[in-house]
Chain A
Amino acid sequence: MGTHVKPLRRILEFLLIYACGIGGLLGIKAAFRLSDYLIPSAGELLTTAAENGWRYTEAVADTAVVAVAGHGFSILLAVTVAFVGISRSFLGALTKTAAYNLQAFPVVAIAPILFIFLGDGITSRILVASLVCYFPLLLTFIGIFAQPVEDVEHFFSMTGRLTRRLALGIRVFENAGKILAVIAGSGTMAMVGSIVAEFLVATNGIGYVIRKALYQSNLAHILVSLFFIGLFSSLYISIIELMGRAVQKRLDPVEDTPA
C-alpha cells in the first residue's frame, strides 16, 4: 500500500512547495506593487500555462527522455570508473584523478568541445546530462567498492573463497539501500544536466524553452516551465524509488515482511 501512496505524496509535496513559492512571489508583487514585467500576474501565469501547457509537457517529456538516458549512462560510467578507480594500479589512479578533475571543470566549458565532435544532437545532450549527475554516484560507488564489509567478508576470507567479484557483490548487496538512495537523488541532477545541455545547444526540450524565455525576460514562461520540470522530476524520482523498493524487496524479502 505504502509504495502506491508515495509517488502521489511526492507530487502533492511538490505542488505544495510550488504553490508556496508562487504565492510568495505574488505576495511580494502585491505588497510592493511591482509590474507584471518583474513578476507576472496570476492571470498571466494561468494564460501562459493554458496556451503553452501541452507544448511544455512535450518539451519536458523530451528532456525527461534525455535525462533518463543520461542517468542510465552516468550509472554505467560511475560503476566503470569506480571499478577501475579502486584498483591500486597506475591506470586506476589515473582514472580516478581524471574523473575527479572532470568534475572540477564547469560543464558549460566542456560542453562546446563535445558539441564540436558530437554535434548538437541527442548524443551530446545525453553526455552532458550524465556528466552533471555522475559524480555523486561515482563517490558512492568508490566508497562502497573500496570499503570491506568485515563481518561477512571475514568468513569467506578465512575459508579462502573470497574473490574480488564476490567481495564487490557483498559490498553492493550490503549497501543496496545507499546505492538506491543516491541513484534516486542523482535522477534530479540528470534532469538538471539535460536542461543545461538544451540551454547550451539544443533546439528542443524544456531547457530550450527557458533559454528563449530568458532572452525575452519572460518570467511567466520560466515559472510555468519550472512547474512542469518539478512535476516530471517528482514523478521520475518516485518511479526510481518504487523500482528501488522492488529490487530491495527481491534481494531481501525478510526485511519487508511484517512482523
Chain B
Amino acid sequence: MTPLPIPHAPFPHPGPRRRAVILILCLIACLVEALSACNARKTRDEGQGEVLTLRLKWLFNVSTAGELWALDKGGFERHGLRVLLREGGVEHNAIKEIELGRAQFGIASADQILQAAGKGADIVVLAQIFQANPLQWIYDETRFTVQDVSDLKGRCIGITYGGNDEAIFSALMERYGITDRDVRLYAVHYDYSPFWRGEVDLWPIYRNVEGVVLAEKIQANGGRAGFFDPGAAGISFVANSLVTSRLFYETQPEKVRAFTEAVTEGWYEAMAPQNLHAAVEIVRLRDPETRPELIAEQITATRQLVVQPGRPVGTIDKKAWKETAQILAAHGLLDRKPDFTRLLAGPPP
C-alpha cells in the first residue's frame, strides 16, 4: 500500500532564515514609524492639518485657565481656528513636540525655551503668559517670618535640584551674599512630609496652585501661611510662555497671530473678576478633584501673576528674559546665548 502524500502545512513553521527576514522586516517597520513621526512635522508645518495642537506645560489646572477659556468659550473658533489642547508634564516637553511636528504651539517655561534656543531649536516666543513667576516658598508664619532675604539665614530651605527653584535660589544667594553655611538646603521630592514635620522651614511651591492648597492645610493645623517671593527680592525669572516654530511662524503668520490673540484674550477673560464663577466651572470640568472654592482662590492668586497694571496680558518682558538667561548661564545651564530679537519676536505684525 502506497502511503498517502503528506500535504504541505498551510502555514509552515518559519526556518531560521525566514525568522531573520521577519525580524528585519519588523525592525524596518519600527524605523519607518519613527521616521514618519518626524516627517509629520514638515507636512503639518505646511498647514495641511486643520486642527492645531497646543501642548500645555502641565496637566489641566488653574495654570491653563486661559487656554481652556479660549477653547470652551469659543475664542479659538472666533479666530477661525480648530484647536486641540493636550496636557503636558515632565515627559511631554512642548518644544520637543513642536520640533517633532506633533504640536504647532506649546506652553513652555522660559528656562526650557532659552535652553532649546541655545541648542539650535528654531522657535519664537509669541506671548509671556505669566508676568510674575509663580514659584515661591511657603512657610508657617506662626513659627517665623521672612520680611527680607536676610531672614532666610539659619533656615532649612527646600530645593528641587534640577528645577527652576535651584537656579532661582542660587541667584538669590549670590546676589545677597548668602553662603551654604548660612542656610541648610534640603532636596525636595514628591513627599511633603518633611515640611509638615517641621524639618524643612520653607518649601518651594507654585503660588497659584499648591500654594493655595498648602496654605489651607497650614491654616487647618492652626498655622498661618506666609510666602517668600524671590521676585519681590529682585530676581526676575520668566515662567510660562506661548511658543511656536520659526517655520510655522513664517509660513502661517495669520494663523499664528490669530492663535496668539485667542490665547491672550482667553487669559484676559478668564482672569476678569466678573468671570470668576465661569472660569471656576471651566477649570473644574478638567480638574474635578479640586473643590470649586479652592479653584476660585487659585484663580485669584493666578490673576495677580498674569494680569499686571499697565501691561497687556501676554506682554514679553525682554529685560526679565535677559536676566533669566544670565541666571541660567551662570549655573552652566545655557550652552549659547540666544538671539533675543529673533526669539522674543512676539506675534507676527
A259 CB within 8 Å of chain B: no
Residue from B96, B161, B335 in contact with A38 in the complex, judged by beta carbons closer than 8 Å: B96
Q: Which of B137-145, B185-193, B295-303 contacts A (4 or more CB under 8 A)?
A: B185-193
B342 CB within 8 Å of chain A: no
Complexed CA–CA distance, A214 and B122 (Å): 21
Are A115 and B193 in contact (CB-based, < 8 A)? Answer: yes
Number of A-B pairs, beta carbon distance below 8 Å: 74
Q: Taking A200-B190, A201-B191 as contacts, is the C-beta distance between A214 and B90 under 8 angstroms?
A: yes
Complexed CA–CA distance, A35 and B113 (Å): 13
Q: Taking A35-B121, A120-B189 as contacts, is the C-beta distance between A212 and B161 under 8 angstroms?
A: yes
Residue from B34, B118, B189, B335 in contact with A201 in the complex, judged by beta carbons closer than 8 Å: B189
Q: Interface size on B (CB < 8 Å)? A: 33
Are B115 and A28 in contact (CB-based, < 8 A)? Answer: no
Q: Taking A37-B116, A37-B120 as contacts, is the C-beta distance between A32 and B41 under 8 angstroms?
A: yes
A213 CB within 8 Å of chain B: yes
- B70-97 contacts to A, CB under 8 A, are 90-91, 93, 95-96
B4 CB within 8 Å of chain A: no
B333 CB within 8 Å of chain A: yes
B162 CB within 8 Å of chain A: yes
Of B34, B91, B162, most A-chain CB atoms within 10 Å: B162
Complexed CA–CA distance, A115 and B100 (Å): 38
A sample of 16 more A-B contacts (CB under 8 A), given A35-B120, A38-B99, is: A31-B35, A32-B35, A35-B116, A36-B120, A36-B335, A37-B96, A37-B118, A112-B191, A115-B189, A201-B189, A203-B161, A212-B161, A214-B162, A215-B163, A216-B111, A217-B112
Q: B-contacting residues of A (Cβ < 8 Å)?
A: 24, 28, 31-32, 34-38, 40, 112, 115-116, 120, 200-201, 203, 208, 211-218
19 of the cross-chain contacts (CB-CB < 8 Å) are A32-B38, A32-B39, A32-B41, A35-B120, A36-B120, A37-B96, A37-B118, A37-B120, A38-B96, A38-B99, A38-B121, A120-B191, A201-B190, A203-B161, A203-B187, A208-B161, A214-B162, A217-B96, A217-B112
Q: A-contacting residues of B (Cβ < 8 Å)?
A: 31, 34-35, 38-39, 41, 90-91, 93, 95-96, 99-100, 111-112, 115-116, 118-122, 160-163, 187, 189-191, 193, 333, 335
Ranked nearest first, the 5 interchain pairs of A and B with the lowest CB-CB distance are A212-B162, A215-B162, A36-B119, A37-B119, A35-B120
